[in-house]
């Protein structure tokens, strides 16, 4: 396990060791070919460490401009991260069971738009978004009927009409937000959802991390462009504060036995219970990962520990109660406007619901 640098110092001044093992991890983490070598790995660290510092030092007033600049720079300087490759057949099929038929869908951070192109082909009306065209509209396909909008990912209600979507989704996005913006993001998601709508998202669990470039170097916690990785308890608090009232979890696995996706409020509470227990133990990140791995073996296929195993995931869902009928009251006083699927998965990004068909860790 490599020494983890302090995020409060300039990471660009820290030079992690790059050997054949690190290069192999890098290729596996980003699903890259053998043509990617030590030069590209070193270049990625130099670029991402510099951009991470700029992202964290941004203020609310400069956030969108700086995030747009940084992600444009990331994909222009590291073009091998932005290749447009097709996802495997059936990679997105589980989403069809989570989304009502013929829904109007808004995705935060669509990347190459592969998930939404799939959903459009199954009758959904979809809007894709990205903070930079270097990552987003560049991959637009005129034949897919997929529309692209520009948004900062946080203040969604500035860009979209209130109560205009049945479903909002994001995959591997919220961990990239500045920690100060997560509450604003969730409130804005709720604002653009129709009554009875849902938010479905997945994000790496901090107990399985790190899941960004830090993992390639064997660091114990995320210090790169995953600005904040969460657990179930943190997400529950943030979702509740944003007005979501009923949070559920989705269990899904492909092997050894195909299960789900199964949606359950009790399952979410179950996952929170284990997170609370692990917190009280005050383990180091390395010991926590080991502890969860042992529990997975002891309890075999109990889903709480599925996030440590390939092809398993837990994606929490947040579904607030429908709004009560009121008269002569402003929107802010009407109670919950929508519901959401607050998703969190644990484990390797490319294995969770196989949403993207390949790793997209940044």
Under 8 Å between Cβ of 154 and 181: yes
Quote the radius of gyration of the chain (alpha carbons, Å).
20
- Residue 34's nearest CA partner among 48, 20, 53 is 20
Residue 186 backbone zone (phi > 0: left; psi -120 to 50: alpha; other: beta):
alpha
Phi first, then psi, for residue 147 (nearest 5°) are -95, 145
Please, what's the largest Cα pairwise distance for the chain? 67
- Report pLDDT for 145: 76
* Cis peptide upstream of residue 256 (ω within 30 degrees of 0): yes
Respond yes or no on whether the N-terminal peptide bond of residue 210 is cis (omega within 30° of 0): yes
Which of 14, 51, 87 has the alpha carbon at shortest distance from 226?
51
List the chain domain ranges.
11-82, 95-324+332-351
Collapse the DSSP code of 319 into the 3-class scheme (helix H, G, I; strand E, B; otherwise coil) and give the result.
Answer: coil
pTM for the full model? Answer: 0.80
* Token pair for 29: 């983490």
* Secondary structure letter of residue 331 according to DSSP: G
Q: Does domain 95-324+332-351 have CATH number 3.40.50.720?
A: no
What pLDDT was estimated at residue 307? 28
Residue 180 · residue 308 · CB < 8 Å: no
Quote the tokens at residue 112: 């190459």
Q: Is 218 left (phi over 0), alpha (psi -120 to 50) or beta?
A: left
Give the end-to-end CA distance of the chain in Å, rounded to a whole number: 20
Q: What integer pLDDT is reported at residue 130 of this predicted model?
A: 86
With tokens 């820290």, the residue in question is 14
Residue 216 · residue 29 · CB < 8 Å: yes
What pLDDT, on the 0 to 100 scale, is given for residue 304?
Answer: 35
> Tell me, what's the pLDDT at 70?
94
Task: Compute the C-alpha angle 271/275/278, nearest 5°.
Answer: 140
Three-point CA angle 179, 183, 184, nearest 5°: 105
- For the chain (362 residues), the mean pLDDT of every run of 10, in chain order, is 62 81 94 94 95 94 93 93 72 89 95 90 93 60 73 93 95 94 96 93 86 92 93 93 87 73 85 90 88 68 32 43 31 29 32 30 32
| Nearest-angstrom CA–CA distance, 265 and 109 | 26
Q: In whole angstroms, give the CA distance from residue 279 to residue 273.
A: 10
- What crossing angle do the helices spanning 20-30 and 38-56 adopt, rounded to 10°? 70
The predicted structure's pLDDT at residue 73: 94
- For residue 82, what pLDDT is reported? 81
Q: Which residue, chain included where needed, has tokens 């390939």?
A: 310
Cα separation, 118 vs 69, in Å, equals: 29
pLDDT value at position 9? 57
């Amino acid at each position: 396990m490599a020494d983890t640098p302090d995020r409060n110092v300039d990471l660009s001044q820290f030079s992690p060791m790059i050997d054949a093992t690190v290069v192999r991890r890098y290729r596996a983490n980003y699903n890259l070919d053998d043509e990617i070598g030590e030069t590209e790995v070193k270049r990625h660290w130099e670029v991402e460490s510099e951009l991470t510092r700029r992202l964290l030092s941004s203020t609310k007033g400069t956030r969108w401009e700086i995030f747009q600049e940084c992600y444009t720079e990331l994909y222009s300087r590291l073009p091998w991260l932005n290749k447009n490759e097709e996802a495997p057949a059936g990679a997105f099929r589980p989403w069809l069971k989570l989304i009502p038929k013929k829904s109007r869908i808004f995705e935060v951070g669509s990347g190459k738009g592969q998930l939404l192109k799939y959903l459009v082909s199954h009758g959904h009306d979809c809007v894709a978004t990205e903070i930079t065209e270097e990552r987003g509209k560049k991959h637009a396909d005129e034949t897919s009927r997929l529309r692209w909008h520009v948004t900062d990912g946080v203040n969604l209600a500035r860009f979209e009409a209130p109560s205009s979507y049945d479903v909002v989704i994001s995959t591997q996005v919220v961990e990239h937000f500045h920690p100060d913006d997560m509450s604003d993001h969730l409130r804005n998601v709720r604002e653009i959802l129709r009554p009875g709508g849902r938010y479905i998202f997945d994000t790496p669990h901090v107990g399985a991390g790190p899941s960004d470039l830090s993992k390639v170097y064997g660091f114990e916690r995320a210090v790169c462009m995953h600005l904040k990785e969460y657990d179930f308890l943190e997400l529950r608090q943030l979702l509740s504060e944003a007005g979501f009232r009923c949070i559920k979890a989705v269990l899904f696995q492909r092997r050894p036995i195909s299960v789900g996706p199964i949606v359950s409020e009790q399952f979410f509470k179950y996952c929170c219970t284990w997170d609370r227990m692990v917190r009280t133990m005050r383990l180091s990140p390395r010991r926590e990962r080991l502890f969860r791995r042992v529990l997975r073996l002891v309890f075999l296929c109990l889903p709480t520990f599925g996030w440590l195993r390939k092809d398993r995931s837990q994606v929490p869902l947040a579904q607030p109660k429908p709004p009560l009928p009121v008269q002569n009251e402003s929107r802010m006083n009407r109670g919950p406007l929508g519901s959401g699927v607050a998703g969190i998965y644990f484990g390797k990004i490319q294995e969770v619901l196989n949403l993207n068909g390949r790793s997209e860790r940044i």
